[in-house]
Amino acid sequence: MRTLLKAAVTTFALDQAIKYVVLFVLDLDRVRQIDVLPPFLRLVMGWNEGINFGLLSGSTDLARWALILLALAISAWIWGMARREPRNRTVQISAGLLIGGALSNVLDRLLYGAVADFLNMSVPGIDNPYSFNLADVAIFIGALGLAFFSTRDKTP
């Protein structure tokens, strides 16, 4: 569980530190876009009130709190699942990535009312309208790691 905790804390701290720089040092919320390596990488400010790609977004406090509770419940469930495989380092790291990313996005919802998204990747000729953050990447990688490396019986 030590590995899981380290991965979660590192993911959470790194994501929040990057968001701090983006919001309060680079002032991206005011500037709106910074070309880093166009068109491949741009910082484009977006506030996501929903889940991936703005799904389930709603400007109500009820929707915000429902997403916070859902993220906390999923994090608790993943923690419990990972406890059953304490010697599987890949599962521990994957669970830590997922939990750290989810909790970082929860903190955004508590502080700002929405998740701060700012990474935008495109290719020449295709303009991607969506932004994401490091926590989203950690959640995705963590979920893939759990799906592929968990040794628990996966049959219902």
List, by residue number, the catalytic residues: 117, 136
User: C-alpha 145: how far from its chain's center?
Assistant: 15
Residue 119 phi, psi (nearest 5): -85, 125
Give buried/exposed letters for 68-89 (b at 16+ CB in 10 A, else e).
eeebeeebeebbeebeebeebe
**Single-letter residue type at 119:** L
- Which are the contacts of 146, defined by CB distance < 8 A and separation ≥ 6? 78, 81, 82, 91, 94, 95, 98
Task: Using DSSP, state whether 22 is helix, strand or coil.
Answer: helix
